[in-house]
Chains A and B, each alone.
Chain A
Amino acid sequence: MNQFVLVDCTTVDGALSQLKDGSVVKAAGVDLLDRMKNGTTTPSRLVNIRNISALRGIHPSPEGVTIGALTTLTEISEHPLLQSHYTILTDACGTVATPHIRNMATLGGNLLQELQCWYFRSEEYECLRKGKEICFAFSGLNQYHAIMDYGTCPSVAPSTSAVALLGLNASVELTSAKRGKRMVAIKDLYVHPDANPTKFTVLEPDELLTAVMIPQPAKGTRSAYQKYGEKQSNDWAIADAGVVLEMDGNVCRKAAIVMGSASPVVRHAPEAEAMLAGKPITEEIARAAGKAAMQGAPLQTAMQGAQPLSMNAYKVQMFPIAIYRTILLAAGQMGRDPSAAS
C-alpha cells in the first residue's frame, strides 16, 4: 500500500469540499483497502466519509424507503420492514461476503465497488479496464466471467445489492457541491465497458453517492434473491437471481428478473419477465423463464443470448436453475434453497 493523506469528514458539505486533487472517497474501505493493498489503486489522498452520521439510516415514507448510503449491509438485512416489503434487498445484502464484512460494508460502497475480475485486481495485468489495450480473460482463466452481453470485457457486475435495487426500480441520489443533488436510476448508474472501459459508473469525481431511494412496491409484491457460488460462505456469485413478482392471487401481473454475475452490468431478463406476466406461477413456467433468460436479447452489445467463454459454459446451466428456484421462492412455492449462499 502506498502512503496517503487521510482527510476525515463528518458532514456531507465538508466531504464534498474535499473532493479534489484526485481524492478517493473511503466509506468502510472494504473494497478500497483491498485494491490499495494489491496495488491496483494508489490514491495519494483519501476522504473518509464513514463518520458522516447523516448518511446512515433507513427512512420509510409513503413513497417508499430512503436508505442512507452509509447504512451497513447488516443494518439493511436485519431491518424488519425491509425484510417484509423488500425481501429481495434483505436477501441480497444478507448474502454478501461474511457477517464481519457486512457489519462494516455500506450500501453505497457495495454499489460502487470496482470489478472483481482477477486480472483487473492484479497489478501485474494492465488490462482494458485500466486504460490499456488487452483483456486477459478471453484467452485466460475465465471460469467466473460473464456469459452474456459482455462485448470487450467479460468481467461481471460485482455488486449484489445492485441486483436487488435494479429489481426494485430504485434510484441513487448523487450530490455535488456545485450542482447539488441529482437522481439516477440504478439501470443508468453503471457504464458498460463498451461505452467507456475505464469509467465504471456515471458518478463524477466531485460527487458523493448519498442515498438510495426505493419506491413503494405495488400491492401483492413478493420478492427474493439467491446467490450460488462454489462455496456458501464468503464467495462471489457464479449465478444469481433477483426476482420481484407483483401478484394478484396466484397470477403474476408483472415480474422483474435480474441477473448480476451474468454480464458486466447488472441486467434484467426481459424474455423471462415477459413469460411470467399474466400467468400463474408454476414450476413449469418458472423453469421456462429461467431458460428464456439465457436466450436474452442484448441490452448493451450486439451479443444475442448466452455465449459462454472457454471455461464457463457451466454458468449457462446454473443461471436458469438459479432463476427458476428464486421465482418459486419469491412466489412462496419453494423454500430457501439449501444450495444457495446463506
Chain B
Amino acid sequence: MATTKIPSSTGVSPDAAQDMAGDGMKTVMMPVGVPGYTLRQEPRTMPATQPPVLPINADLKFIGKSPERWDGPAKVSGRARYTADIQLPGMLYAKFVDATVPHAKVISVDTSEAEKVAGVKGVFVIENLLGSAKLLNPSLEVSKYPIVRYAGQPIAAVAATNPQIAEDAAKLVKVKYDVMPFVVDMDQARRADAPMVFPGPANQAGTAGGGGGAADVPQTGNIHGPSVHTRGDIEQGFKDADVVVEEHYTTQVQVHNALESHGVVADWKPDLLTVWASTQGTASVREGLAGFFNLPKSQVRVITEFMGGGFGAKFGPGNPGVVAAALSKQTNAPVRLMLDRKEEQLSVGNRPSSDQTLRIGAKKDGTLTAIHLVSYGTAGCGTGAGCAGPATNMYKYASLRTEESDIFTNAGPATAFRAPGHPQGAFALEQTIDELANRLGMDPLDLRDKIDENSARRVEREIVRNSAIWKSRHATPNVDHGHIKRGVGVGQAVWYRNISMDSAAEVRVHQDGSVEVLSAVQDIGGGLKTVMAQILSEQFGVPPQQVSVKIGDTNYPVGPNSGGSVTTASLTPAVRDAAWNAAQNFLASIAPALGAQPDDLVLANGEVSSKSGKFQPISFRSAAAKMNTSEVSAQARRIPDYDRKAYETYGGVDVAEVEVDMEIGLIRVKRILAVHDCGRPMNPKQTMNQINGGVIQGMSYALYENRLIDSDYGLMVNANLDRYQIAGSREIPQIEVQLIQSYIGQSSTDASGIGEPGGIIGTPAAIANAFYNATGVRIRSLPMTPAVVLAALANTSQQKETA
C-alpha cells in the first residue's frame, strides 16, 4: 500500500487557492486519505468565502487534540442542570396513567375521583396519541380515545403539587376498557388467524432521528410489507455463483434505557411556551409542539442545557411533551413530567426484532454474485424493522434483492435506535460472509479486501491484520481443548455521511477579549461543547475553558437534531465558518486603531500581527481592546459538502476475542479491538469514548439485553433494570480503540459522526464470529445467553463450513 507523507502546511493558507474563476468559487488542495497510509492532496471546489483549509491534526493546536471536557467540572460537581433538575416557582408534577392491557378500546376515562384529591390541579386525557403507527383509513376505528395497542400506552396524566399526590391520584383515574384479542409474539402475529393489531393498513412516520418504515407497501393481516429493493439480476447472480450460503438469523428487541429518562418541564405562558426537554433535538421538539398546538415556532422555546443520554428515542416532544404542555396550559402553571423506568421500557421506543433469511452467492475468488435478504421484524405497533442496510451498502455485488416486512404486534412502538437496522443486519451479514470465507477457504480479512471497496476500511483491516489480537486467532475453529475455548472474530460496520443543513452558529467577540459561540444544537453526551470550544480556540488562540459555549436553546441559531450521527459533521463547519468570519470582522474592527488595513492583519496563535511588519505582534486580548464597537459577531450556516459523491458511506472494523465456557455456556468477551474512522477526529479522546460506548452497547445487545413479554397476557415481565439485563462492570472487556484519521475533504472541518458506526454495528457480529472460531459452532440467535449457547453446543448436527 502506498504511503504518501506530504508536508501538511501546504493548503493551509487561502493563498493556496489555485483557481479563482470569478464565480464566487475557489478550488484548493485539501488533505485526503489516512496519514501513514494514503494521505495525499486533492483539489476541492468550494465557495470563495470558505475559510482556509485546515491542515491535518498533527499541525493544529486545539482541533484534533483532546482537551478536558468543557463541561466536565459542571457534570461531576452536580452543577450541571438536567431537565429533572429544573425547578420553577409553582411547578406541578405530572404522572401518566398507563394502559394495563395490551389491546382494547377505551370506553370511558373517569377522572372525577382523581380531581377531588387535594393538591391535584389538572387531569388531561389523551385524544391524540403520538408514536404509534396510524391507520390510513381512520374510519375503520371509531373511538373517542386512542385504541390501546400495547400495555403501558399512556391514556391520561395527572398534575399535582407534588409527585406523591400525582402518583396517588393517577391510580384513581378509572379507565373502562373494551378488551380486544391481542398478539405480542411475532411468529404468532404472522399467522393468518392472528388477532389484528390494526384493522387496516397503517404507517408510522419516522422521527428526526430516523426510524419508521416503508409506507407504500402491501399489508396482509399484521404483515406490513414486503418493501422490495432489487439491483441487477438476482437469478442470474445465483446461477453465476460457485458457492451459495443460506442461513437464518433471529435477533431480539432491545430497549434504549438511557440513563436519563424521557421528560420535560413545560411552562405555558400566553406569548411563549418554554419547554426544558431531555431531547436529541431542540429543533424537533419546537417543531412538534408548534405543530401540535398550532403555535408559531417563534412562540415556542426549547432548552436542553444538559442531556443524560439519547440513543435515538428522544426526538420531538412525544407524548410526555405534548401532555405536559397541555397540562401547563390547562393549569396555568409549569408542569414537570419525567417517565419512570417502567414507562421507559414500555412506551418510548425500542430496537425492533429481526428474523432474517440471508442467501449469498459468490465466485471461487470471493466475488459476490448475489445477495438475497428476506427479513421480518416487529416494531410493535409501529414500523421500521427493516435491516437491509448492511447487505445493501457494505460490499460490492453483482445483484441484490431485499424484501423487508414489519410484523405488527401489541407492543410499544419502535423508534430509531443507534444505527437503526444495522446491528441486526450486520449480525446476519457478517456471519454469512465469515461462513462464506470458510467455504471458500479464504481468510476472512482477505475475502473482505476482495469485496469491500471502502478505502478507510481497507486501512482498518490492515491495522487489524497487524494487531496482536488478530495474530492470536486460530486459523481453524475449535482448536482449544478443555472446557474453556478461545476464539477471535471480526465484524464490519457501514454507516452513512448524513448532513443536516439546519446547522448554524453565531460567534461573538467582545471588547474584553472574551469569545462565545451560540447554537440551538444540543450536546447529547458526545462532547460537542468541547469541540465547539476547540474550534474557537484554534481561531482565536484562547484556551477552550475560556471560550463560552452556549447551546441547547432554540433562541440561538438553528441546530441539527442529533440523529444519524449528523451533529459533529454538520455543525462544526458552521462553527468554524462563523469563527473565521467573526475573526475577519474583528480584524476590520481593530484595523483603524492599529493604523493598518484589515488585509494586512493576521490572527494566528492567539496573536494579531501585521504581514507588512507595521507593528510588533500583540495578544488577541490586547487587540480586542482596540475594537471600535463593544462586540463583533458573525453567523454561519452549513454549506453542502464539497464533493459528496465519493464519500457516501464509511464504517469500521471490530474484532472480538471471546472465551467460551463449554460446560456452563457462558461467553466472556475478553478483548475488543475497534478500528474506526470518522473523517477528521475533532477530539480523539471523546471520539474514542463514544466508540467505547458503542462497543459496550453492542456487546450488551449481543449477550444480555432482551425485552420479554408474556405472550399469554401481553405484559412485559422485565420492565426494570434488574431483570432487563445490561452489561455491568464485570462484563466490560479490555477495549482498544484504534481511531484513524480519514481525511475526505468535505467541509471546513472535515469531521464525520461516530455515534452509530462506532461499535454497535460490528461488535455483535464480531462476537458471534469469535464464538464460531472458538467452538466450530454457529450461533444465529441473539442474545447469546447460556441457554442459547448450551442449546447450540448440544446441536451436533452443525454443518461443517470448511470446504
Interface of A with B (CB < 8 Å)? Answer: 1-3, 34, 38, 98, 118-119, 122, 124-125, 136, 139-141, 143, 228, 230-235, 238-239, 311-312, 314, 317-318, 321-322, 338-339, 341-342
- Would you call B785 and A140 a contact (CB within 8 A)? no
- Would you call A122 and B715 a contact (CB within 8 A)? yes
| B residues in contact with A2, CB < 8 Å | 168
Rounded to whole Å, the gap between the CB of A248 and the closest CB of chain B is 30
Rounded to whole Å, the gap between the CB of A100 and the closest CB of chain B is 11
Stretch with Cβ within 8 A of A (4 or more), from B70-78, B432-440, B725-733: B725-733
Instruction: Choose one: B151, B661, B710; the contact of A140 (CB below 8 Å).
Output: B710
Instruction: Choose one: B710, B728, B791; the contact of A231 (CB below 8 Å).
Output: B728
Interface of B with A (CB < 8 Å)? Answer: 100, 151, 164, 167-168, 342, 659, 661, 663-666, 668, 703-704, 708, 710-713, 715, 717-720, 722-723, 725, 727-731, 785-787, 790-791
| A residues in contact with B718, CB < 8 Å | 118
- Would you call B665 and A140 a contact (CB within 8 A)? no
- Would you call B661 and A125 a contact (CB within 8 A)? no
| B residues in contact with A321, CB < 8 Å | 663-664
- Would you call B787 and A143 a contact (CB within 8 A)? yes
- Would you call B710 and A317 a contact (CB within 8 A)? no
| B residues in contact with A228, CB < 8 Å | 664, 666, 786
Known A-B contacts A34-B722, A338-B668, A342-B730; the reply to A122 vs B787 at CB < 8 A is no
- Would you call B786 and A314 a contact (CB within 8 A)? yes
Instruction: Choose one: A1, A233, A312, A322; the contact of B729 (CB below 8 Å).
Output: A233
- Would you call A3 and B168 a contact (CB within 8 A)? yes
Instruction: Choose one: A98, A139, A239; the contact of B728 (CB below 8 Å).
Output: A98
Instruction: Choose one: A1, A3, A122, A231; the contact of B727 (CB below 8 Å).
Output: A231
- Would you call A314 and B790 a contact (CB within 8 A)? yes
Tell me the total A-B contact number using a CB cutoff of 8 A: 89
- Would you call A3 and B164 a contact (CB within 8 A)? yes
- Would you call A318 and B664 a contact (CB within 8 A)? yes
| A residues in contact with B728, CB < 8 Å | 98, 231-235
Residue of B nearest to A143 (CB): B787
CA distance A179 to B258 in the complex (A): 51
9 new A-B pairs (CB below 8 Å) besides A118-B718, A143-B787? A38-B342, A118-B723, A124-B715, A140-B713, A228-B664, A232-B730, A314-B790, A318-B664, A318-B665
Known A-B contacts A233-B728, A339-B664; the reply to A311 vs B708 at CB < 8 A is no
- Would you call B730 and A314 a contact (CB within 8 A)? no
| A residues in contact with B151, CB < 8 Å | 124
Known A-B contacts A118-B718, A318-B664, A339-B661; the reply to A139 vs B730 at CB < 8 A is no
- Would you call A318 and B786 a contact (CB within 8 A)? yes
- Would you call B666 and A339 a contact (CB within 8 A)? yes
Rounded to whole Å, the gap between the CB of B767 and the closest CB of chain A is 14
Instruction: Choose one: A119, A140, A232, A317; the contact of B790 (CB below 8 Å).
Output: A317
CA distance A231 to B100 in the complex (A): 31
Rounded to whole Å, the gap between the CB of A6 and the closest CB of chain B is 13
Known A-B contacts A118-B723, A311-B787, A321-B663; the reply to A231 vs B713 at CB < 8 A is no
- Would you call B712 and A140 a contact (CB within 8 A)? yes
| A residues in contact with B710, CB < 8 Å | 119, 136, 140-141
CA distance A245 to B663 in the complex (A): 24
| A residues in contact with B711, CB < 8 Å | 140
Residue of B nearest to A341 (CB): B730
| A residues in contact with B729, CB < 8 Å | 233
Q: List 28 A-B contacts (CB under 8 A).
A: A1-B164, A1-B167, A98-B728, A118-B717, A118-B723, A122-B715, A124-B715, A125-B715, A136-B710, A136-B712, A140-B712, A140-B717, A230-B703, A230-B725, A230-B786, A231-B727, A232-B668, A232-B731, A233-B729, A233-B731, A239-B664, A311-B787, A312-B787, A317-B665, A318-B786, A339-B664, A339-B668, A341-B730
CA distance A119 to B731 in the complex (A): 27
- Would you call B712 and A231 a contact (CB within 8 A)? no
CA distance A143 to B718 in the complex (A): 12
CA distance A120 to B217 in the complex (A): 42
Residue of A nearest to B731 (CB): A231
- Would you call B713 and A136 a contact (CB within 8 A)? yes
Q: Which 4 A-B pairs have the closest CB atoms?
A: A233-B728, A233-B730, A232-B730, A118-B717
CA distance A44 to B720 in the complex (A): 24
- Would you call A119 and B730 a contact (CB within 8 A)? no
- Among B666, B703, B718, B727, the one with the most A-chain Cβ atoms within 10 Å of its Cβ is B666
CA distance A231 to B785 in the complex (A): 9
CA distance A228 to B342 in the complex (A): 27
| A residues in contact with B164, CB < 8 Å | 1, 3
Residue of B nearest to A318 (CB): B664
| B residues in contact with A238, CB < 8 Å | 786
| A residues in contact with B168, CB < 8 Å | 2-3
Residue of A nearest to B341 (CB): A37
CA distance A7 to B112 in the complex (A): 33
| B residues in contact with A234, CB < 8 Å | 728
CA distance A119 to B723 in the complex (A): 12
Rounded to whole Å, the gap between the CB of B605 and the closest CB of chain A is 48
| B residues in contact with A124, CB < 8 Å | 100, 151, 713, 715
Residue of B nearest to A232 (CB): B730
CA distance A235 to B726 in the complex (A): 10
CA distance A230 to B728 in the complex (A): 11
| A residues in contact with B725, CB < 8 Å | 230-231, 235
| A residues in contact with B790, CB < 8 Å | 314, 317-318
| B residues in contact with A3, CB < 8 Å | 164, 168
Rounded to whole Å, the gap between the CB of A264 and the closest CB of chain B is 18
Rounded to whole Å, the gap between the CB of B719 and the closest CB of chain A is 8
CA distance A166 to B100 in the complex (A): 41
CA distance A208 to B547 in the complex (A): 60
Rounded to whole Å, the gap between the CB of B88 and the closest CB of chain A is 24
